[in-house]
Each structure stands twice: as structure tokens, then as C-alpha cells.
């Protein structure tokens, strides 16, 4: 029922990507996102596609699983694509009354759609191949320098890792409560919007109560183990870059250089 949420979900298989240092993957995702915004040329997109396809292949995660994450943004995708499609000025291809589809519109909308899809798929590769704990470890280490500006990096990343850890728990809990209420005749599917919102009360009240209960329990358990924040805290498995990480970074720079190069070439050719 609620198994479609792939965001923040780890997919436990063995692959080269799973073994990489989380910082490498974080950086790679960033590079990929930046590259998508630099790319403005069909060739750049071809290269981005190859890069993404290679990452998917190497991750050993079934494509089906990544595409599922797209369901969450279908609405956003439709809006941004149709806005670009209808509202970009230029030479009209089809016109329906006051609406007209322009040649420029089709190109912009197409790139926009691809960009959004790649953004989601690209970042889900990271979350699917990295456990939430590794991810926050990586973030904490990468943002270490912010400590000097009195930003509580450790605390923020601890909160993040707890939040991420709680996603599957709460999904499971929601599923359970939903079933329990359905067994009592509750209906979550039919009715208009207001009716549907009202029908959510038997789900949301127990869910909030259980979230608070879990939060108190967790706080208690952390205190019982003497958690006092990040100061002076050491790690059992400190992050360390290996050879494969170095190679990966090299690939990133190569990739980014090509994308930037293509953009410069394109600008010059105009």
C-alpha cells in the first residue's frame, strides 16, 4: 500500500556503488545535479544519460525500483512541463485558442522534464546505495569546517539520521494502523477531498501519538547510553577514502569538464 516511497530507502545488495565512501557519493550527486543545470545541449544530455545509466548499472538496484520514486513528483513534473510547453514564446507549432505550443516550448519542456526526472533518479541512486547512517556520517564529515562558525554540525546530522531512520518505521506504522482501522470498516479510498481528509483522522491521531511515544523512548534510550552530543565523540568506523574513491573522483572531474566544455563550445558556436 505504502511501499512506493523509495526516498530515503536503502536497497541492500552488494555493488561497487554500495562500497564507495558516502562522501564520494554525496559529491557525485552534487556534481551530477550541477551538470544537469549546466547542460543546455543535446550532447550534454546524452553524456549525462550515459553517466546516469552507468551509475544505475553499477548500483545493482533494479531500474523499476528507482522509477518508483518518480511517482512522488508526477504532479510537479506535469505542471512544470506543461507551463513550459504552453507559455514559452516563439514560433507556434500548434495553437488551440489562446494556448499555443511553440517549437522553443517543446525543447524547453523536454529538457525540463528530463532534468527533473534525472534529478530524482540521480539522488535516489545515492539513497538506495547508502544507508542513512553512512549518509549522515558522510555529511557530518564533509561539513566539519562549519563547526568553526559555531554551526552544530553533529547535532544537525544526528537529527537528520534519526529523521531518515524514522521514515520506514513510520511508513510501517501507518500501514499497520491503516489496516487496523480498515478492519473496523474505515474507508480511505472513496469520497471527495473533504471526506477523504476527515477519514484521515483515525489514521493521523494514532500515528502522531505513536511518533511521540517513539521519540520519548528513543530520547530515553540515548540518555541511558550517556549520549551528550558530538563534542569529544569518537567513531568506531571512521570514514576513509580508498583507491576506488580516488578513481571515482577522477571520473567526476572528467565528466564535469566535458559538460562544461560542451557548454563553452556551444556558446562560442552561436
For another protein, the binding residues (CB under 8 A) are 3, 11-13, 62, 64-65, 176-177, 179-187, 201-202, 205-206, 209-210
Buried b (16+ CB within 10 A) or exposed e, 136-163: bbbbbbbeeeeeeeeeebbebbbeebee
- Which C-beta is closer to another protein: that of 163 or that of 201? 201
> Cα–Cα distances in Å, from 201 out to 90, 147, 213?
49, 42, 18
- Which C-beta is closer to another protein: that of 176 or that of 196? 176
Distance CA 265, CA 270 (A): 9
Shortest Cβ 177–another protein spacing (Å): 6
Buried b (16+ CB within 10 A) or exposed e, 227-256: eeeeeeeeeeeebeeeeebeebbeebeebe
- Which C-beta is closer to another protein: that of 12 or that of 89? 12
- Which C-beta is closer to another protein: that of 209 or that of 265? 209
Shortest Cβ 185–another protein spacing (Å): 3
Shortest Cβ 226–another protein spacing (Å): 28
Shortest Cβ 184–another protein spacing (Å): 4
Amino acid at each position: 500500500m505504502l511501499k512506493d516511497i523509495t526516498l530515503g530507502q536503502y536497497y541492500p545488495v552488494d555493488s561497487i556503488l554500495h562500497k564507495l565512501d558516502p562522501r564520494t557519493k554525496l559529491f557525485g550527486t552534487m556534481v551530477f545535479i550541477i551538470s544537469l543545470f549546466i547542460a543546455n545541449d543535446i550532447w550534454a544530455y546524452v553524456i549525462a544519460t550515459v553517466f546516469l545509466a552507468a551509475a544505475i548499472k553499477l548500483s545493482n538496484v533494479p531500474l523499476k525500483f528507482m522509477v518508483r520514486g518518480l511517482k512522488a513528483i508526477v504532479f510537479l513534473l506535469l505542471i512544470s512541463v506543461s507551463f513550459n510547453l504552453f507559455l514559452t514564446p516563439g514560433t507556434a507549432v500548434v495553437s488551440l485558442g489562446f494556448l499555443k505550443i511553440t517549437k522553443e516550448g517543446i525543447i524547453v519542456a523536454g529538457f525540463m522534464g528530463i532534468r527533473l526526472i534525472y534529478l530524482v533518479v540521480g539522488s535516489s541512486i545515492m539513497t538506495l546505495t547508502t544507508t542513512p547512517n553512512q549518509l549522515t556520517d558522510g555529511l557530518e564529515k564533509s561539513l566539519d569546517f562549519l563547526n568553526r562558525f559555531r554551526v552544530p554540525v553533529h547535532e544537525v546530522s544526528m537529527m537528520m539520521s534519526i529523521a531518515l531512520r524514522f521514515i520506514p518505521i513510520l511508513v510501517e506504522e501507518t500501514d499497520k494502523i491503516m489496516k487496523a482501522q480498515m478492519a473496523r470498516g474505515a474507508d480511505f479510498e472513496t469520497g471527495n477531498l473533504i471526506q477523504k481528509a476527515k477519514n484521515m483522522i483515525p489514521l493521523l491521531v494514532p500515528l502522531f501519538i505513536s511518533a511521540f511515544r517513539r521519540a520519548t523512548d528513543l530520547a530515553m534510550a540515548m540518555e541511558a547510553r550517556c549520549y551528550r552530543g558530538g563534542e569529544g565523540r569518537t567513531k568506531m568506523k571512521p570514514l576513509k577514502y580508498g583507491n576506488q574513491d580516488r578513481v571515482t573522483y577522477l571520473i567526476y572531474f572528467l565528466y564535469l569538464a566535458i559538460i562544461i566544455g560542451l557548454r563553452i563550445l556551444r556558446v562560442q558556436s552561436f
